[in-house]
Structure 1
Amino acid sequence: MNHLADSLSPYLLQHKDNPVDWYPWGGEAFDQAKKTDKPIFLSVGYAACHWCHVMEHESFENKTIAEFLNEHFVSIKVDREERPDIDQIYMNAVQVMTGRGGWPMSVFLNHDQKPFYAGTYWPPTERQGMPGFLQVLDAIADAWKNRRGDVVEHANDISKALVQIAIGTDDGLDDEAPDASVIEVATDHLLSSLDKREGGFGSAPKFPHATDLMLLLRRGQITGNSALTDAAVLTLDKMACGGIRDHIGGGFARYSVDGHWLVPHFEKMLYDNSLLATCYLQAFQATGEKRHAEVAEDVLTYLCRDMVDDAGGLHCSEDADSEGVEGKFYVWKPEQIIEVLGQERGERFCQIYDITQRGNFEGNSIANLKEPIESIELQAELADDREKLRRIRDKRVHPGRDDKVLVAWNALAIKALSLGGAVLGRNDFLFAAIRAAEFVFDKMTKPDGRLLHAFRGKTAHLDAYLDDYAYLAEACVSLFETTADAKWIERAVQLAEIMLKHFEDKDRGGFFYTANDSETLITRNKDWHDGSLVGANASAASAIWKLTALTDRDDFREAVKETLVSGSVVIRSQAAACAALITVLDRYHGDHEQWGIAVPDHASLESLRTELAQVFRPQRTLSWIHSDSEKTSEIIKLNDNRKMIDGKATLYRCKGFTCDAPITGHDQIVQAWRVASGA
């Protein structure tokens, strides 16, 4: 028995019975390393990671390798989802030393937590040009024993590089945010890297890149450049047809291993599905094409049905493997389909969804479409068939689930569910969003308003990170736009104030990923780039900019400007990796339109909300003045002195808090909204 049995993390608990003497990250492990004069082997992964499972089975369950590790190293296991701060720092180290990254992440540290050697997956013995893990361990142990001076010097050099990478900027900062020309450079780059046949950017493996797609949809709507919208729509359509989408149960896998979205890495992540649901909703808003709304509805139905915790939050992920086999839960043979649907409908389903005797994945078939289904009647029949198959599939052994709840990932889901509730007219989605948000504020918030990052087993723990606060603030703004309840803006303002107090870099602008009173690591990182998630600085600036348009607070406005100034080097030189930050820059230069709508009651709100939400409005701030909600004008300056006229719904169109003559009446408001949106 190692030291992981008391962990809350499902990933760490997966390793509690390994013969490796694992420690969780903490003082006990580092004290032991110093006491025994051993280097540290840091292994970072996550519960749904297929190759993490492979390395565990091949190496960490191998008694010979475990004995060598235990004799020569102090081994630390980290769940990257619980400790993204640790993951970010040492992933930078892996990329500096190897030129690539990924999980499982394997890093060797000295007693000062400084890395001196790193990699990702190693097989247990030499294979296909890769050194064996035992061979790597032997070389590291020898270097530690016989060439300690070289190890220390190399660790110091790597750590110096990590400090500069963590900041993400240089000393030659500008005085102003980059001009808007950078935005076109970024979208031009996306178009040039677009796979014009299969969608997506670059070659295999292909990731959804949700923030890139959102930027294209936004700029396509603003500029009228259909090539931008078409690029996003092509990618979304190809993904919706591909095997990366779970056509039977809903949702998307993390990425496709091929260039045409057929064979996924089967794990399903909450953040991917939340971001993609938002993407498809925005595509529907921008194009009016119902197929995008149907995909979004499919994803959100999956989240509400399969991923909601009994307490109200949403779980992190579902594994790729079941019964030790990758993808086994998701694949089919024709006879299995026919057994459920009958001969005629079963054969039709197999033909439409590419389920064959030969198969398209290791002798089995991943359901996928060659093209979208146009016939409404056929769509309805296939929906019935898919539901029958889902119920049968549900009897199979399910993939493992990481059932912890993370604030940041839940916030992405809250935002998607809130938008979905408005756009699709689905109050159940809105209820799920509100329930999840209330769960976070009830169970994952300390009395002083500070958040706790993770929850599992009735216990919330770990100081929250910048993205927890930023994503949740954005989700609260979305909930206000959907419900008109000003408490969500009040909460968003509180979160923004905490970001300014505990995360803002007062000297250079922008925000650190960890709070100023969090655990001290070898560097304090700034998260500028989008990966599978939205860059934390981008989300923080986005949330605060939205609040600026509602509250007219100068400290909020200045924080956004300083973030863009601080991030100017990243924006100019690495635009391909920071679409969300580019979007904030676009908002900063162009989002000055504010619409306040006074409504008499909740019924009027719902009626207007559904019609307005179906039209894309990327440059517009929306506020509600609702007679059933309290304190709106106390929190939201945009609502000052805005009232209904003659008891009718009334629209106030403003720019810089200066408003045009009001417009009254439901139909007139909808017409004005559509005209201003170019619909």
Structure 2
Amino acid sequence: MPNRLAHETSPYLLQHADNPVDWWPWCQEALELARRLDRPILLSVGYAACHWCHVMAHESFEDARTAEVMNRLFVNIKVDREERPDIDQIYQSAHHMLTQRSGGWPLTMFLTPDGTPFFGGTYFPKTPRHGLPAFADLLEHVAETLRNRRRDIEEQNAAVRAALARAASPGAGSHHSDFGPAPLADLRDRLSAAYDQRFGGFGEAPKFPHPTDLEFLLHRWHSCGDEHARDIVLHTLACMAEGGLFDQLGGGFYRYSTDDRWQIPHFEKMLYDNGPLLGLCAEAWQVSGQPLYRDITERTAEWLMREMQDRHGGYCSSLDADSEGVEGRFYVWDRDEISAQLTPELFSVVDLHWGLNAAPNFEHRHWHLTVAMPLDEVATQLDITPDEAARRLADARERLFAKRAMRVPPGLDNKILTSWNGLTIAGMMRAARVFDRDDWATSARDAIAFIRNHHWRDERLYATSAGGEGRLNAYLDDHVFMIEGLIEAMQTRFDPEDLVFAEDLADALLDNFEDRAGGGFFFTRHDHEHLIQRPKPMHDNATPAGNGVAARVLARLGHLTGETRYLDAAERCLQAFYGALARNPSGASSLALALAERLAPPAVIVLRGPQHAIAGWQRRLATRHQPDAMVFTLPTGTPDLPPALDKPAVESATAWLCRGHHCLPPVSDIDALEKLLDTRG
């Protein structure tokens, strides 16, 4: 019989609805049951595209004997970390405190009946291996330990709660108003020290994309002329795009690389990676003009629209790593299978380009497609023109993509998450502006409409939906990532409704999330359920830190509307975290970007005049790498403009440029405008 998870909407929870485990979703009824029975809680956190979550489910949660132990000894709670990032953040932090090791998914935590964690880990096998105990044996041992050492565990719990309280507010008690650039230089130096000069990226395997760090470095190059910062970004993006982190046939980036060369990925594709990377690749093209970055931008945008956008407009959350129960099966190839699909002329190109003439790179038997030889070198070896090599590669890619489409595809997690849609809207709108792609802008606008129509009700934002209306209180990230997306949308094609929605979200943020006493923003609303920790995050993880993005987008919204309450809240946020940022800026690139824009406010450029006259100006400015400027194209007759944007109606193209409280006289020559912009880098 299905368990209680059968009534949930999360695809991840539904994956476990037929387990013999007596699963509960996270709810007050389950927590009250644990207290009433004085029984420990087994908390299992994962997500639908997680490979090792599937492994543990198959080995243990689908096993009747293991389930009997779980049901006898624990109240078992299953959480989708994408629906409940509040819970995931708390218990990931607790895992690190208890084990002194980084966490991940599946996260397996054991809680006393009051919800305090006393032991935990990630994946546990069904039988002992890799130095890990059998899961069923561990369950018996944990329950026995709690029975026999309850007083010791309660003392430990008090220490854990105190540590969680300290960790919740890294800037607590430290308010600064004298901001300086030293944290920006320090962060740049730390990223440079971690940079892998050979293969790109930061640190050793496993390697993650780190889009927020790359965005900071690009901003650093623009503001300071730091060529090394620029080169780190361009090299890293090129290595990822030509390596196995990028799907060479279907487009889109996988979650991370298992090796330091970006060759073999963990095969799930996450929306939260691809939205920011899409925007970054567009910026890389602005900076370098290299065709690679345009190609990767186009193929990522096409993948997002083709495979991740549902028919109602929202972007879905992820694609699974597994197909037919095997990680990567959908994506890897046999050499003979490729040869059979292509003519000899086509195969001659991909054989060299993707290194099929070398040893298999996936489990010693298969090929995961990566660029082994640049296409111009392939053309030289085959004595054909570069254009002919490109034509053959495109033809081969199309044929292999069609063949791959006949395989059993990975599962799609069709949850629509407000926060990840905000990230993707921002990336898609930025790319649409750079490459003048109305279809990309339309795709992003459909997502905005979906969030506004289904996740915004009665002045309250909701975090998620899956085939229905939004549910669960939205978090800090949902609000600020959507505001960022709306600001990008207004620069692509101004719509007064976007500005109204952005201000509504900002007002909800200030009313329901701000710590008015300490500055900054809590991750959860003031009326959210009480949990054992209420964090105010400053560090970036797979997505940017909500407080860093809040400080930046509120300031930007304040500059474009003239509303001081947004500027003041951004200032309070930076004041709260500046001390911690100055001590150690590592992992806080989003806050560093906010600080950079506090020290040098972004330009607000308003283009006015007849539509036909200002369209060329907009197009020209869009090809410039100008991360410290916002450009709003407002044809004569645009309604409902705030005072900061409501410039006089003019008969010819004219630009107004302001930085902070300083505005220059209007400019009627595009060359003169660009010279003004160049004076600030």
Q: TM-score range by the shorter chain?
A: over 0.9
Which residue of the partner structure matches residue 554 of structure 1? 564
CA shift digits 1:24-52 (9 cap, x unpaired): 00022112222322100000000000111
CA contact (8 A) 1:650 1:669 kept: no
Deviation at 1:627, TM superposition (A): 2.1
Per-residue deviation, 1:553: 2.1
User: What secondary structure does 1:577 align onto?
Assistant: coil
Letter in 2 for 1:86: I
CA 1:592–1:56: 2 relative to 1, 3 Å: closer
Partner amino acid, structure 2, of 1:403: N
By how many angstroms is 1:608 displaced? 2.6
Aligned to 2:250: 249
User: Residues 454-485 of structure 1: CA distance to partner in whole angstroms, max 9, x if unpaired?
Assistant: 01122321010011000000111101001022
Q: Distance in 1 between matches of 2:555 and 2:163?
A: 32
- The worse-fitting range, judged by mean Cα deviation, of 452-461 and 380-389 is 380-389
Aligned to 1:458: 468
Partner residue in 1 for 2:360: 359
Aligned to 2:298: 297
- In the alignment, is residue 271 of structure 1 matched against residue 263 of structure 2? no
Greater shift, 558-567 or 175-184, is seen at 175-184
Structure 1 residue 663 corresponds to structure 2 residue 667: yes
- Deviation at 1:371? 5.2
Hey, what does 2:410 align to over in structure 1? 399
Q: TM-score, normalised by structure 1?
A: 0.96
**Aligned length in residues:** 669
Q: CA deviation at 1:323?
A: 0.5
Instruction: Give the Cα–Cα distance (whole angstroms) in 1 for the partners of residues 315 and 54 of structure 2.
Output: 23
Contact 1:408 1:467 in 2 (8 A): yes
Shift of 1:433: 0.6
Please identify, of 42-51 and 560-569, the stretch whose mean Cα deviation from structure 2 is larger.
560-569
Alpha-carbon displacement from aligned partner over 1:284-322 (angstroms, at most 9, x marks no partner)? 122222321221111111001111111110100000000
Aligned residue runs from structure 1 range 20-419, under 5 A: 20-99=21-100, 100-171=102-173, 173-176=174-177, 178-356=179-357, 358-362=359-363, 363-370=365-372, 372-374=374-376, 375-419=386-430
In structure 1, distance between residues paired with 2:256 and 2:657: 42
Is contact 2:338-2:400 (8 Å) kept? yes
Q: CA deviation at 1:408?
A: 0.6
Matched, 1:642 2:648: yes
The amino acid that maps onto 2:438 is N
| 1:659 alignment partner AA | C
Q: Return the letter of the residue paired with 2:566.
A: F
1:371–1:511: structure 2 CA closer, same or farther, 3 Å change rule? farther
> Alignment partner for residue 612 of structure 1, among 606, 614, 621?
621
- In structure 1, the partner of 2:11 is 10
- Cα distance in 2 for partners of 1:440, 1:245 equals 28
Q: Residues 10, 669 of structure 1: CA spacing in aligned structure 2 closer, same or farther, 3 A cutoff?
A: farther
Which residue of 510, 514, 518 maps to 2:524?
514
Tell me which residue corresponds to 1:494: 504
Match of 2:481 among 461, 471, 474: 471
For structure 2, the residue ranges without an aligned partner over 5 or more in a row are 377-385
Q: Partner letter of residue 656 of structure 2?
A: Y
Distance 1:463 1:546, change over 3 A: same
Deviation at 1:268, TM superposition (A): 0.1
Q: Deviations over 1:384-433 (max 9, x none)?
A: 32122111111100011101100010111111111111111111000001
Q: Deviations over 1:111-165 (max 9, x none)?
A: 2111111111111222122222222211111022222222222222211111111
Residue identity (%) = 38
Which residue identity does 1:142 align to in structure 2? E
Partner secondary structure for residue 108 of structure 2: strand
Of 448, 452, 460 in structure 2, the residue corresponding to residue 437 of structure 1 is 448
Structure 1 partner of 2:633: 624
1: CA distance, partners of 2:227 / 2:253 = 26
- Deviations, residues 539-575 of structure 1 (Å, cap 9, x unaligned): 1111101112112222211111111111123312331
More divergent stretch after superposition (366-375 vs 256-265):
366-375
Q: For the Cα contact (< 8 Å) 1:144–1:151, is it kept in 2?
A: yes
Deviation at 1:373, TM superposition (A): 3.4
Can you give the 5+ residue segments of structure 1 that lack an aligned partner in the other structure? Answer: none
Letter in 1 for 2:421: N
| TM-score normalized by the length of structure 2 | 0.95
1:428 aligns with 2:439: yes
Post-superposition CA distance 1:510-553 (Å, at most 9, x none): 00000101111112111211111011111111110111211222
The CA distance in 2 between the partners of 1:547 and 1:4, in whole Å, is 41
Give 3-state SS (helix, strand or coil) of 1:90's partner.
helix
1:556-635 maps to which residues of 2 (within 5 A)?
556-601=566-611, 603-632=612-641, 635=642
Greater displacement, 151-160 / 11-20: 151-160
